[in-house]
Amino acid sequence: MNINIEKCVGCSWCVKDCPVDAVTLENKKAKINDELCVGCRVCFRVCRYEAVEMEPVSLDRTVECDHCPIKCRIGQGHLGACRRYENQDGEIIRLDQPLTFDDVREYVAPAPKAELREPVITAIGVGTTYPDCRPAPGIVRQKRGDVEVVTVATEVPLSYSSVLVKIDTDVHIGNQGAPIIYDGREVGMLETEQYGSKMLHIGGVNRLTGGAAGFAAARAITEISNHRPVKLRIKDGARLEIQIGQPPVINGEAAGNMRVGCGSATTGIFASMFVEAADEVMVLDSHITGQLSRHVAGQVAGAKPTGVEPIFPMSTPGRYFGDHGPGWGGTSITDPRALIKSIDMNVAWTGMTILITETTGQNGAMFEVQSDGSLKDIPIAPKAQAALEAIRETCEPSLVSAMYTAGSGGSARAGVCRYPIKLTRAVHQSKVVVTVGGVPAYVMPGGGISFFVDVGQVKPGSFSWTPTPATICPLEYTMEVKDYEAMGGHVEAMKPFPAKEPKGE
Ligand code: SF4
Ligand code: SF4
């Protein structure tokens, strides 16, 4: 890499982002240490002033690392961009030793006792006590082997509550951060995407308590958590009809399959079929669009250079950053020809075939390169059809799922025991198991009892809402009776379960 001193303004972005600290600022100009530079192109990509010029790293004094698509050229005694691999006397070595579970056990919270994993009763239907400093409505004990177990159950009103909805689709539904509208009011926002899924976050305390939209947000959380169909609109984006366990309906069309992986992963998985299917294969994807001939997997499978240049900017060879839109693979491309910026006929040849598809294999088109570099539509060849079919068969169906997430407030904990701080500590020490309608909750680390639960497993209809506004969640705490006593539990309110214990117990 080389710095064009005339263009460099000394903003230091390349200094901060270079993963191997190869760039420094001298007299307010970037300077690259060639000994350390591995050619990862981060500086090239972050520079807004086109001051970084591509120049290959010396092949003599470096070794190529093949553990990721960056393919760093690492000099003797130096590290690759990931800072895990080092060139030691011409060999690329992973610096850390593999660890066993025993090596990391001290960092992992202990698993709760088997006897505590299921609540004695669920909170569904037990009711709510108000004010919460009185004992919770359901406090029941049961002997399980040698262990005396108690479950404290309440249908708790929670204003710190929301639902994180996962929609498995690569269809573009709106921009990250866009408001979500339900019954004409803003109830949430489009979240960070997950792998092959769009994420919607609905509710949260500021929306629930923030005026007229609060009731709509509480209703939306409740309806979704109860597995009922809900219609939403993304501002400047899609109309959605969602229901837990069902395919999402996006702009009136039921989504089919979720993608098998990004375009690069799809190229990697199906490379051996793709080389049989066409001379060049391109897999459109809004995240990473793949190109067989330049992808490492394509080269391993025997793909030859084709001179085809896609329109998207390159991440690493054969992997290109896509964009977002209503087209194939969630990109803006509705006509697959538009993916190709140019074809270098010094490399390509007349009759060369190109297959373009997307990460679900749903759409596919095949072309033949003409002597003047233009493309002719041709029918999809049988081996290309087989490759598209293989992608489709590897995809999972698109579904809607959701995690209800909430924080159990101080007053709600007072209904469990007299020293709520002891309850919180016991939860984080795995001495208390938190469940929602009998479904294990994941308690977030740090302070308090903030949790996630998969509403798909909770009996439909178990949630409700109240106009405080808050959503009402069937919450259970299960622990040993001795621990319950130690936290000042309302032991006087404990009832046996079943109401009449079997003889001999
Ligand atoms: S990012 Fe570009 S302009 Fe900024 S210091 Fe680096 S080379 Fe110079
Ligand atoms: S190519 Fe990568 S390693 Fe080399 S200077 Fe730029 S950011 Fe640093």
CA of 63 to the centre of ligand 2 (A): 16
Q: How far is CA 235 from the centre of its chain?
A: 22
Ligand 2, atom 2, residue with closest C-alpha: 40
On the question of pLDDT at 125 being above 50, the answer is yes
pLDDT at residue 55 in the model: 87
Q: Which tens digits make up the pLDDT trace of 143-175?
A: 999 999 999 999 999 999 999 999 999 899 999
Ligand 2 pocket list (CB less than 6 A): 1, 18, 20, 22-23, 32, 37-43
**CA–CA gap between residue 379 and residue 385 (Å, rounded):** 10
Please write the tens of the pLDDT for every residue from 440-459. 999 999 999 999 999 999 99
Checking if the pLDDT of 500 tops 70, the result is: no
Between CA 283 and CA 290 the distance in angstroms is 5
Instruction: Tell me if 231 sits within 8 A of 223, measured CB to CB.
Output: no
Q: What is the pLDDT of residue 131?
A: 76
pLDDT, average across residues 208-226:
94
> For residue 301, is it left (φ>0), alpha (ψ between -120 and 50) or beta?
alpha
- What is the SS3 assignment for 295? coil
Give distance in angstroms: CA of 467 to centre of ligand 1.
Answer: 55
H, E, C per residue of 411-437 = HHHHCCECCHHHHHHHHHCCCCEEEEC
pLDDT of residue 181: 98
Query: Is 437 in contact with 451 (CB distance < 8 Å)?
Result: no
Give the angle 471-473-475 at the CA atoms, nearest 5°. 150
What are the pocket residues of ligand 1 if the criterion is a CB atom closer than 6 Å to any ligand atom?
A: 3, 8-14, 30, 46-47, 49, 51-52
Would you say 70 and 20 are in contact if contact means Cβ atoms under 8 Å apart? no
Q: What is the mean pLDDT of the chain?
A: 95
Distance from residue 284's CA to the centre of ligand 2 (Å): 28
User: What pLDDT was estimated at residue 498?
Assistant: 86
Residues 6 or more apart whose CB falls under 8 angstroms from that of 13 comprise 46, 47, 48
Kindly give the number of the ligand 2 atom that is closest to the alpha carbon of 23: 5
Tell me the average pLDDT across 40-56: 94
Length of the chain: 505
Q: Which of 14, 15, 37 to mutate to test the pocket of ligand 2 (most atoms within 8 A of CB)?
A: 37
Pocket test for ligand 1, best of 5, 45, 47 (most atoms within 8 A of CB): 47
Decide the pairing of beta strands 138-144 and 495-496: parallel
- In this structure, which ligand is nearest to the CA of 36? 2
Cα 58 to middle of ligand 2, angstroms: 13
pLDDT > 70? residue 504:
no
- pTM here is 0.89
Atom 8 in ligand 2: residue holding the nearest Cα: 18
Give the H or E element holding residue 388.
helix 382-394
What string of DSSP letters covers 59-106? SSSEEE--SSTT--EEETT-B-TTSSEEEETTEEEESSPP--HHHHGG
The structure tokens 């001298």 sit at 26
Q: What is the mean pLDDT of residues 100-109?
A: 95
Is a pLDDT exceeding 80 seen at residue 5? yes
Atom of ligand 2 nearest to the CA of 17: 7
Measure 26 CA to ligand 1 centroid, in angstroms.
11
> Residue type at 271?
A
Q: Please name the amino acid found at residue 235.
A: K
Q: Report residue 324 CA to chain centroid gap.
A: 17
Q: What is the mean pLDDT of residues 411-439?
A: 92
Band the pLDDT of 505: cuts 50, 70, 90. Answer: very low
